Structure 1
Amino acid sequence: MEGVEGDTASPVAPLAKWRNEFSRAFQYYLDKSTPLPVHRWLGTLAVAAVYILRVYYLRGFYIISYGLGIYTLNLLIGFLSPKVDPELEGLDGASLPTKGSDEFRPFIRRVPEFKFWYAITKAFIVAFCLTFLSVLDVPVFWPILLCYWIVLFVLTMKHQIMHMIKYKYVPFNIGKQTYGGKESPGSSRRH
């Protein structure tokens, strides 16, 4: 009875092995892409362009596109929001500085850039795959969906910008900050 289990090869084992190898290879290339944000986003733009062209030529799947737009808007809000929201959490020291005399705390996003990129890319790929299912091509009047999405986007961004102004944070780094004032010794002024 001891050799009975070892004699029969399970058909699940090769599938699990292939899945494990694929997962490792995928993670390897994902890790290699981490320090290359421009290349990653260009790839995502290419995937988005392929999806948009497919929807345009099929003249359908507007419900999928609307769902994709809502999901992308939700990710964008997470990308622009701080990890610790001062409105939701009590002002307990882990919040954003609100006065000039407060200690500097770096802006930490609720959804980091890499996860934002990965989720959007995955969403476009899934939406592209869903365009091959004809049952999801629901006939709708797409201008209504577009207008509703634009109104939703404007109202959401207005709320987010007001939140940024209220708690005085900017979710973007634009180079190293330089401060005016004293010049370093050894530098000469040109008149």
Structure 2
Amino acid sequence: MEGIGGGGASVASPLPQWGHDAWRMYQYYLDKSTPHSTYRWIGTLVVAAVYCLRVYYAQGFYIVSYGLGIYLLNLLIGFLSPLVDPELEGSDGPVLPTKGSDEFKPFIRRLPEFKFWYSMTKAFCIAFLMTFFSVFDVPVFWPILLCYWVVLFVLTMRRQIGHMIKYKYIPFNIGKQKYTGKKASASSSRVRGD
């Protein structure tokens, strides 16, 4: 009965502790990367380029690429969609203004930028790992998959853009004013004697 009550030394397996430490370190670096969106997206573009090169040189894994494309399209729809859809209108939270007299409510994404980036990067990494297993290399005629994906992309984006035009929202910060800070006025500089 030495292991009960803390009187004796209990021997714990080092594997769960190592896994916990590795997860904490991973989470630490993930949290530190949050404010550096430009570098995060550059890293994702590098991962995507490595994946594309792997598929090109392997001359296969088109089903994996098609599945990845469908998943990325689904993420893009979530990224471009508002948190509360104005078509459903039975919400208690903030909604987008539909008329000029409506109160302004800021655009809140259904899928935030960080989660969009994280899910996209994980998807490319998982798809890259799948290219090392021949069970995922299903022989298909890839031009048909590509044409089907392009048609699906065009129809989905046309619907999404129509929704954006109908409810007058822009999911990007391009052209919006940003607060630059307090500027010193000429009268305050004269008072200080500058």
**Residues 86-128 of structure 1, C-alpha deviations (whole Å, 9 max, x = no match):** 1134265632101112111110000000000000000000000
Cα distance change of structure 1 residues 3 and 100 upon mapping to structure 2, 3 Å threshold: closer
Flag the 1:98–1:135 CA change in 2: closer, same or farther, 3 A. same
2 CA distance for matches of 1:119 and 1:43? 13
1:83 pairs with 2:59: no
Offset, 1:16: 1.0
Indicate how the Cα distance of structure 1 residues 172 and 15 shifts in structure 2: closer, same or farther if over 3 A, else same.
Answer: same
Displacement of 1:19 after TM fit? Answer: 1.1
- TM-score, normalisation: structure 2: 0.85
- Superposed CA deviations along residues 119-157 of structure 1, whole A, max 9, x for unmatched, are 000000000000011011000000000000000000000
Give 1:76 shift: 0.1
Structure 1 residues 90 and 29, CA, compared in 2 at 3 Å: closer, same or farther?
A: same
Whole-angstrom CA distance in 1 between matches of 2:42 and 2:49:
10
Q: CA deviation at 1:177?
A: 2.8
Distance 2:123 2:62 in 1: 15
1:117 is paired with a residue of what secondary structure?
helix
Kept in 1, the 8 Å contact 2:82–2:108? The answer is yes
Gaps of 5+ in 1: 179-184, 187-191
Q: Within 5 A, what are the aligned runs for 1:10-89? A: 10=12, 13-89=13-89
Q: Quote the Cα distance in structure 1 between the aligned partners of 2:9 and 2:120.
A: 46
Match 1:9 to one of 8, 11, 30: 11
Alignment of 1:155-170 (within 5 A): 155-170=155-170
Give secondary structure in 2 for the equivalent of 1:60.
Answer: coil
- CA-based RMSD of the aligned residues comes to 2.1
Confirm or deny: 8 A CA contact 2:83 2:109 kept in the other structure. yes
Same amino acid, percent of matched pairs: 72
Q: Are the aligned partners of 2:2 and 2:9 in contact in 1 as well (CA < 8 Å)?
A: no
Farther-moved stretch of structure 1 (144-153 vs 84-93): 84-93
Structure 1 Cα separation of the partners of residues 68 and 84 of structure 2: 26
1:101 paired to 2:97:
no
CA contact (8 A) 2:164 2:170 kept: yes
1:79 is matched by which residue type in structure 2? F
Kindly provide the amino acid, as one letter, of the partner of residue 83 in structure 1: L
- Structure 1 residues 141 and 104: alpha-carbon distance in aligned structure 2, compared to 1, 3 A threshold: same
Counterparts in 2 of 1:161 and 1:133: CA distance versus 1, 3 Å: same
The letter for the 2-side match of 1:119 is: S
Is this contact kept in 1: 2:44–2:121, CA < 8 A? yes
Distance in 2, matches of 1:158 and 1:176, equals: 24
